[in-house]
Structure 1
């Protein structure tokens, strides 16, 4: 199975591991470093293959790597990335390949307003697109599976002293057009509602965040390993996150999540399902403006992220009610 990046996509790929394991299919998982950390000691994998992106940069490197894969005598490549690199690996290895339907043309067309009214009702979900590949292995009830990551007791070391009844906030994202600017105010409202608040993310997330948070907020950004972050999220009553990895980690450890959309859109297929949480979006005519959220806002104002903190918290509380969780 191949999914090189990004972290959120690799997390969603975990949804395939339980059904393949149940079908007694041995899986070797190929991904970029350091994303393989989420699969540490995962009994569902026969082998984890981690490579540095620099090792598969040139055509000759890819060809050499593919030739080595060929020697492993794999029955199939399950390609759930579907890009030029994975196409090349399939081509050079000559291994029979099952490839997920990426829906990339429709997703790109959705960026243009005239096409949206024709596409909006054609629901696409990346998770189901991954899982649909299971039909070729005889799994008919594939939509019941969800991403699932396995935690071990060691992952909780150093994070077991957190207060009860806490909400995780994932304040960061790869691009600024996806970063909600009022998490400090959301934190204050959550505290007033009887919750504790824990921030998770990278050191860069912390450095880029200019917000001043209430002193009661526990800031663990840049202090945790990826697996420790998973452990913290798993202990939370719920999480609030940008369209980023924290949202998908929440899904994979069965923590209800509210995802906040800015420059991107649920149509791209990454929104949590109803049994995983919900999302909030302003639904402006300029949304979405970019497939990944990297494009500069043409209005220089990011109106899409100007969502009242009280609306965010109210939506989150509705999720907790749906999951029978109280403060």
Structure 2
């Protein structure tokens, strides 16, 4: 077993092993990127106890990890505001936390940092590389280079706490057994299962609907592929239902499955087509090949899905749109960059999918 640093030495005498609190709230993709890192951590240090502070919804993500539990952050209820965060800190202190790994570094976690400092509990935070990302995304004098991945930045926090890990040791979990409801909805056949998650939080990294439909149509006509559509929300559900009704080998699972059921399905896919968004990271946990489409963002920002090859990242035309990436999350759309993803031909996407399958 790897050896830790000073903090590890201070707490390893405990019968149950050191207890690490991991803070990562926010969006699904950010939380999903924690999973491979924690997997390596708990397999490198099998006596560790890990509590992940996050939304209750994300609990199924961590269910296959030994010695890892989720503590719900009810930030809109009992844990809201400074007083609520004080309550949360006391609750976590009573869980006998030894050290804290803050993988978020936002206002809420900084309030917790101050309280844990008062309790005398060591607290380390992620270095988000804000200056490097600003240099990468600025319009003038852009420093166009690959930055550290978010996974590496997460791992650095554990190293600072005395628990260095090697992400190259990650082993994806075995495919989840398909839950009965998934069988009922998806059925069984010999076709390749291709997941398609055509949406993203921001327009700047969402492939145009008409172009995506051309991809769906061509793959449906292939006859050897079952297309499974992922999304969420009323408008997305409505759109994917149209494609389900229109194309023979196409199925939308929006609103039909729980999150745990979706994960069991994703773990059994043959490939996933996704934007720079959460579903890419979910599939990567299980070692599923991910083909990702990139608009105003870029893999150089460090958000490429874990262990996925660069050649599976299909990029917009940077020669025509040299300001890419314009932001880390795709929020900033400069004038003239509204249709940047139209520079990715559907045929290019289809060819890559067939190559991967």
Q: TM-score, structure 2 length as denominator?
A: 0.79
Conservation of the 8 A alpha-carbon contact between 2:297 and 2:328: yes
Aligned CA RMSD, in angstroms, stands at 2.6
Q: Which residue of 1 aligns with 2:33?
A: 12
Question: Bigger CA drift: 244-253 or 71-80?
Answer: 71-80
- Displacement of 1:152 in angstroms is 5.1
Instruction: Give the counterpart of 2:201 among 174, 181, 187.
Output: 174
Cα distance in 1 for partners of 2:134, 2:171 equals 25
When Rg is computed on C-alpha atoms for both structures, the one with the higher figure is 2
1:29 to 52, 66, 86: 52
CA distance in 1, matches of 2:327, 2:140: 15
* Offset at residue 298 of structure 1 (A): 2.8
CA contact (8 A) 1:261 1:305 kept: no
Partner of 2:285: 252
How far has the Cα of 1:265 moved from its partner?
1.7
Structure 1 residues 90-120: Cα deviation after superposition (integer angstroms, max 9, x where no partner): 211222012222112221332213242x3x2
Q: Indicate how the Cα distance of structure 1 residues 11 and 57 shifts in structure 2: closer, same or farther if over 3 A, else same.
A: same
1:260 counterpart SS class: strand
For 1:158 and 1:175, how far apart are their aligned partners in 2?
31
Hey, what does 1:323 align to over in structure 2?
none
Change (3 A) 1:57 1:289: farther
For the pair 1:308 / 2:345, whether they are aligned, the reply is yes
Post-superposition offset of 1:206: 2.5
Q: Please say if 1:219 is aligned against 2:252.
A: yes
| Residue among 206, 231, 246 paired with 2:237 | 206
Match of 2:100 in 1: 77
Q: Residues 139-166 of structure 1, C-alpha deviation per residue, up to 9 Å, x if partnerless?
A: 555131448567754x522223243312
The 3 A distance-change label for structure 1 pair 47 and 274 is closer
Structure 1: stretches of 5+ with no match in the other structure? 321-325
**Matching of residues 183-202 of structure 1 within 5 Å:** 183-193=212-222, 194-202=224-232
In 2: Cα distance, 1:5 partner to 1:148 partner: 24
Cα pair 1:33 1:53 within 8 Å, conserved: no
Aligned-residue offset at 1:12:
0.9
1:268 paired residue among 294, 301, 325:
301
| Counterparts of 2:202 and 2:122, CA distance in 1 | 36
Verify the 8 A CA contact 1:202 1:221 in the aligned structure 2.
yes
What is the total number of aligned residue pairs between the two structures?
316
Superposition deviation, residue 87 in structure 1: 1.6
TM-score (structure 1 length as normaliser): 0.86
For the Cα contact (< 8 Å) 2:116–2:123, is it kept in 1? no
For residues 193 and 68 of structure 2, the distance between their equivalents in structure 1, rounded to whole angstroms, comes to: 36
- Unaligned 5+ segments in structure 2 are 1-21
- Paired with 1:306 and 1:297, the residues of 2 have a C-alpha distance of 16
CA 1:67 to 1:73, structure 2 compared with 1: closer, same or farther past 3 Å? Answer: same
Q: Which moved more, 1:275-284 or 1:77-86?
A: 275-284
Partner of 1:113: 139
- Out of 140-149 and 241-250, give the one that drifted further: 140-149
Corresponding position of 2:326: 289
CA distance in structure 2 between the aligned counterparts of 1:4 and 1:147, rounded to whole angstroms:
24
Alpha-carbon contact 1:251-1:272 (below 8 Å) kept = yes
Aligned counterpart for 2:354 among listed residues 307, 317, 321? 317
**1:266-310 deviation line (CA, Å, top 9, x unaligned):** 122111355467211112223223332234553373223441111
Distance 1:187 1:109 in 2: 37
Instruction: Mark the CA change 1:70 to 1:138 in structure 2 (over 3 Å): closer, same or farther.
Output: closer
Residue 232 of structure 1 aligns with which residue? 265
Partner of 1:58: 81
SS at match of 2:60: helix
Could you tell me how far 1:192 is from its partner in structure 2? Answer: 4.0
